[in-house]
Every structure is written in C-alpha cells, then in structure tokens.
Amino acid sequence: MPIDRALIRKKSTVYAQTLLEALPDDAARFAASGELEQVLTTTRGHLELRNTLTDHTLTPESRAAILREVFTGFREELLVVLSVVVERDDLGILGRINERYLELLEETLNAVILDVTTVVELDDGLRESIKKRFSSQFGKTVLLREHIDASLLGGIVISTHGSRIDASVQTQLASARKALVQKW
Amino acid sequence: MRTTLKRLLTAATLAMISLLALPVLAFASEAEEGGGSAMGVGLLFPSLGEWIPMLIGFIVLWVILAKFGWPAFIGMIDKRTATIKDSLERAEAARIESEHILEENKLQLDEAKKQATQIIADAKVTGDTLRAEIMTQAQEDARLLIERANSAIETEKKAAIAQLQSSVADLSVSIAGRLIGSDLNESDHRRLIEHYLAEAGNLNAN
C-alpha cells in the first residue's frame, strides 16, 4: 500500500531524526548506529523478546521497561527513542528506522558507512586500506562499523545499503562444495 | 368286399337248396329199397309234409334276412372295413408323420451336433485368444514392473550417489574449514583479507 509505505517512511524518519538530534555529537551518532543495529539484530533473532515487546496485555510502560532492562548499557538517548517506539507499538518498523537513521547519519557526516565483518579484529593498516579502496569508489569519507564473526573462517564481508561483497572463506568453501557436487 | 359277400351269399343259398333237395331223393331211394317203410334212416329226415313248410319258412327267413339282415350286416362290415381302412390310413399317416418327425429329429440332432461342434470350436478359439491376451497382458505387466523396478533402482542409486557426493563434499569442506581455522593465525587472516580485498569488486552505490 503506497499510503502505508509513505506513512511508515514518515514515521521512521521522525524516529531517526529525533535520535540523530538527541545525540550530542557525530561520534555518539556513529556509535549509536552500531547499537541500533545490535538492537535490531537482537529483536529479530529472539522471538520471545519480540513477542514480549509487542504484547498488548502489557502496559506500554512495562514494555519500555523490559526494553531498557534488556539493553542496559546502551546510550540513554537511544533507549529513550526506542522506548517510545515500543510504547507506540512501532517495533515492526525498527528495520526501516535503522535504514533511515543510517541514511540521515551519512547525510549529516557526508560519509558512507560500511559494515565490515571479519574473523579477527582489523588493524589500522587494513582499516586504511578499506577506507581508501571504497572512498575512491563513492567519492565520500568512508566510516567502518566493525563486526567479528568466527563462522566466516577467514576473509572479509563488506556491506552497505543492501549491497554486499562476500569474500569470506566460508563462502569460498560453499562455492567449492557446490562446484564439487556439480562436477560429480 | 360287398361283391364278394354277395357271391358267398348266392353260393350258400344254392348249397342250402341242394341240401334241402337231398332228403326227397333219399326218401325215394329208401322207398324203392325198403318198400316204403317209415322206419330206419327215414326217421332222420322230415317228411315231405314237414319239409315244405320248412322250405317256406326258410325262404321267408331268407327273404327277411336278405331284405333286412344282410344289408345291416354288410353295412356293419363296410363300416368296420372303413374303420379299419381309416385306422390303417391313420396308422400309415402316423407312421409317415413319425418318420418325418424322426427325420426332423435326426436333422435337428445333426444340427445340434454341428452347433455343439461349432460351439466347442468357438470356445477353443475364444480360449486360445483369451489365453494369448492374458499371456500378452501378463508379459506387459511384467515388463512394466521390471521397468519400474529398474527405474526405482536407478533413482535410488542416483540419490545414494548424490547423497554420498554431498556427504563427501560436506566432509571435505568441513575438514578444509577446520584446517583453515586451526592453521591460520591473526597475521595470516589479515593477509587473507588484504588478498581478498585486492580481488574484490566494487559495492553498488545507491
């Protein structure tokens, strides 16, 4: 429904803009993007938590309190905005809020944010290599949100705005396995 | 028949007349030989005075019989003759009918035998045809069964081979993953990242 999509985009923008303006500086805004991503991943991965946060038998205040309890240690500004999201029963558009926040953050910072996943922590040399490699492509400053995932076995996965480069050993082995089975 | 009876009746009449005439001749002979005695053989024959009324009576009786008795008798005989003739004719007709029926029965029997023979022959042909059809159907069923069994075996074989290949591939990948995971240190991982970065393409810019 176009009207629903427009409404969702509008609501997502309001939440994202509010969060962006609530945070004191660019560093906090950038760090909050990682925390928001983490909240999104956690609620998507835990059905029980998601059901609890959307349970209408609980009061909105109770749902917000549970959210604060689960994500203790996250930035207060982020928790305030997310409490409103939960109280207004808008948890279903959290993905869209995250996307809009990243878009607005990139506009504010005039940068491109890349999610980089590796098995080991990046060193400065690698960070610079990645930034250099993609800043020339996008013509903007590149900011990295780093993630560690041992299941990749090796290599690197880079993604932004739905685009993805998967150069992980796990994917290489999966391709090798597929080619092996097809060859037989 | 009627003519024969009339002849017999005439002959009997003449014989009776001759017989009635004999005593007169005998009496004359005895009278001549015995001198007219009424004794001896003459006692056996009536006198002339008795003979004439007897003759008259006989004639009257004959006339009555000729007028009323003989026609009735002849009529009865004719009737009987007709009855016998009719019976004979009917018997002959019955015999002919019987022969005809017998002939028909014989023909029907022959026809029945022919039909029975034909039915047996048809039944044999039908039986042979049916047996051939059953054999053909059985052979076809057996062929399809074997074909399906072969197909199922082939499918199972392919599935087993595919599963085996998949298992081998999984095992190979797993071993490779473990070797890589255990053999690579942080420095190796970083070199690998650099290597992949150099080979990786561009991200699609929105």
Is a pLDDT exceeding 50 seen at residue A176?
A: yes
CA angle B82, B77, B16 (to 5 degrees): 155
CB count, 10 Å around CB of B40? 10
Q: What residues of B are in contact with residue A123 (Cβ under 8 Å)? A: 190
> What are the sequence ranges of the domains in chain B?
2-100, 159-199
User: Which pLDDT score, from 0 to 100, does residue B126 have?
Assistant: 92
Q: What residues of B are in contact with residue A119 (Cβ under 8 Å)? A: 189
Chains A & B: contacts with CB separation below 8 Å = 87
Q: Which CATH architecture has domain A2-105?
A: Orthogonal Bundle (1.10)
Point out the least confidently predicted range of A14-18, A167-171, B8-12, B167-171: B8-12
The verdict on a CB contact (< 8 Å) between B203 and A154 is no
User: Which pLDDT score, from 0 to 100, does residue B206 have?
Assistant: 44
User: Which pLDDT score, from 0 to 100, does residue B16 have?
Assistant: 65
CA–CA distance, A154 with B177 (Å, rounded to integer): 9
Q: Average pLDDT in the A71-89 region?
A: 93
Per-residue pLDDT of chain B (206 residues; tens, 9 = 90+): 556 666 666 766 666 665 555 555 545 555 555 444 455 666 777 777 888 888 899 999 999 988 888 888 888 899 999 999 999 999 999 999 999 999 999 999 999 999 999 999 999 999 999 999 999 999 999 999 999 999 999 999 989 888 888 888 888 878 887 777 777 788 888 888 888 888 877 776 54
Where does the pLDDT of residue A136 fall: very low under 50, low under 70, confident under 90, or very high at 90 and above? confident
Task: Calculate the CA dihedral of residues B145, B147, B151, B156 and round it to 10 degrees.
Answer: 50
pLDDT one-digit tens code per residue, A86-131: 999 999 999 999 999 999 999 999 999 999 999 899 899 899 988 9
Please check whether residue B19 touches A, CB under 8 A. no
> What are the sequence ranges of the domains in chain A?
2-105, 110-183
Model-level ipTM above the cut of 0.90: no
Written as one letter, the residue type at B171 is L
Q: Average pLDDT in the A6-30 region?
A: 92
User: Which pLDDT score, from 0 to 100, does residue A138 have?
Assistant: 86
User: Which pLDDT score, from 0 to 100, does residue B23 have?
Assistant: 52
CA–CA distance, A52 with A46 (Å, rounded to integer): 10
- pLDDT: is B203 or A43 the higher one? A43
Please check whether residue B202 touches A, CB under 8 A. yes
Q: pLDDT above 90 covers what percent of chain A?
A: 63
User: Which pLDDT score, from 0 to 100, does residue B11 have?
Assistant: 62
The verdict on a CB contact (< 8 Å) between B203 and A165 is yes
Cβ(A157)–Cβ(A117) under 8 Å?
A: yes
State which residue of chain B sits closest to A133, comparing Cα positions.
Answer: B197
Q: Could you tell me whether strands A155-160 and A111-118 are parallel, antiparallel, or unpaired per DSSP bridges? A: antiparallel
The verdict on a CB contact (< 8 Å) between A181 and B205 is no
> Which A residues, 103 through 122, put their C-beta within 8 Å of a C-beta on chain B?
114, 118-120, 122
CA–CA distance, A92 with A40 (Å, rounded to integer): 10
User: Which pLDDT score, from 0 to 100, does residue B185 have?
Assistant: 83
User: Which pLDDT score, from 0 to 100, does residue A178 have?
Assistant: 83
pLDDT one-digit tens code per residue, B81-104: 999 999 999 999 999 999 999 999
CA–CA distance, B112 with B104 (Å, rounded to integer): 12
Cβ(A75)–Cβ(A35) under 8 Å?
A: yes
State which residue of chain A sits closest to B205, comparing Cα positions.
Answer: A138
Please check whether residue B157 touches A, CB under 8 A. no
